[in-house]
Amino acid sequence: MGGVIASAWALLLGMGLLMMGNGLQGTLLGVRGDLEGFSTLEMSIVMSAYFAGFLGGSRATPELIRRVGHVRVFAALGSTISAILILYPVLTDPISWTFGRAIIGFCFSGVYVTAESWLNNATTKENRGQALSLYMIVQMGGIVAAQGIVGFGDPSGYVLFIIPSVLISLAFAPILLSIAPTPAFESTKPMTLRQLVQTSPLGSVGMFLLGGVFAANFGMSSVFGTLAGLTVQQISIFVATIYVGALVLQFPIGWLSDRMDRRRLILICAALGGAASLAAFVLPLSFPVILVAGFLIGGTSNPLYSLLVAYTNDFLEYEDMASASGGLIFLNGLGAIAGPLITGWAMGAIGPNGYFAFIAILMLGTAFYALYRMTRRASLYAEEDYEAVSYAPITPVSSPVSFEAAQEYYAEATEETATEGEDAPEGTA
């Protein structure tokens, strides 16, 4: 871990600042939108636009990089993000915010692709797993730290919008000043969705449903807080609790993932997150109940992302793992685009509790589908020669680059396991 920090500290510092800026603007818009009198439907459209832009950016950025290079793309997208963040309090209408969120989603996706290309280039086969773990911690830590800023400012003014703009601008300094060579950008040819669904129905369906859960957490949690009558500080604590849960439970669940039937663990995590959401929906809304529910939802949904990827890889040959990343990201992105729209409709129809009702449906739906798939396919653990693909922590806020880096880690670990088994003396493999 120390070697990764020494070789990539500037990249990690820059990404931490980027995540602080992104996490701050997401929460801030939900609070400011309520102050401006935006309806729940209008805010859901605004929040959904980010994920549409993010999905589009993940597909367009590689071509931009090939045409003009990493540095120019990085600088152009970063400047655009900073400009739009400052324009939010000036152009306070839903249409402007929707276009702004779509552009910011596109730009953040491109920035992540560029920065993660450098990070992936700075790692080796031996420390890639450690780099992914550290990168995940930096991402979650940045979002959590951002919530502390929201609680100490006035969302009706300009200062809180200037802060994320400054953070984004500062994030580029350590990254651009510390990088000498620009890595060659190569993306794998994606596996078709039909092949992916046929290979792992649970992984495909689970990633789609989880996209909706993530979008509700990342895009609509602050909107829920305003509708529920929480103060700005309480909203920031609630949002932070979601990602603290992700940090705390990611590694224990990862440890279990390599030691038990992954379908059962998927079932347990989804059921636990669904039960927490259902309890928050049924019980009278109180701040302690909201915090406990947020911790469990974040602590189960974020590790589920990595868990579903690892489970899907269990059914792939190592040479196909990287190519499956495009389909998994696309399915998750479709769910993320729909998530805020459905969450907004639910909260408009039944009140703030609709936020938890929507998450409960998706999480419990994932649990029931996992249970159904257990009746349709025998467990891999029943096979004597089965070796589980190692779990690698990745998050839904990552770009296709870090996703493919995780797939490379999976593939390398799988290939090493197979090689060791072939080389082992008879009776020891």
pLDDT the model gives residue 426: 46
Secondary structure (H, E, C), the chain: CHHHHHHHHHHHHHHHHHHHHHHHHHHHHHHHHHHCCCCHHHHHHHHHHHHHHHHHHHHHHHHHHHHHCHHHHHHHHHHHHHHHHHHCCCCCCHHHHHHHHHHHHHHHHHHHHHHHHHHHHHCCCCCHHHHHHHHHHHHHHHHHHHHHHHCCCCCCCCHHHHHHHHHHHHHHHHHHHHCCCCCCCCCCCCCCHHHHHHHCHHHHHHHHHHHHHHHHHHHHHHHHHHHCCCCHHHHHHHHHHHHHHHHHHHHHHHHHHCCCCHHHHHHHHHHHHHHHHHHHHHCCCCHHHHHHHHHHHHHHHHHHHHHHHHHHHCCCCHHHHHHHHHHHHHHHHHHHHHHHHHHHHHHHHHCCCHHHHHHHHHHHHHHHHHHHHHCCCCCHHHCCCCCCCCCCCCCCCCCHHHHHHHHHHHHHHHHHHHHHHHHCCCCCC
| Other beta carbons less than 10 A from residue 353's beta carbon | 21
pLDDT the model gives residue 113: 74
Q: Which residues of the chain have pLDDT under 70?
A: 1-8, 116-132, 178-191, 318-323, 325-326, 379-429
pLDDT the model gives residue 21: 87
| Residue ranges per structural domain of the chain | 2-423
Residue 270 identity:
A
Q: What is the pLDDT of residues 177-228, one digit of tens each?
A: 765 555 555 555 566 778 888 888 888 899 899 989 988 988 899 999 999 9
Q: Which is the CATH superfamily of the domain at 2-423?
A: MFS general substrate transporter like domains (1.20.1250.20)
Distance, CA of 28 to CA of 343 (rounded, Å):
18
pLDDT the model gives residue 279: 95
Show the tokens assigned to 235. 């909203």
Distance, CA of 346 to CA of 356 (rounded, Å):
9
Question: Residue 22's closest CA among 85, 95, 74?
Answer: 85
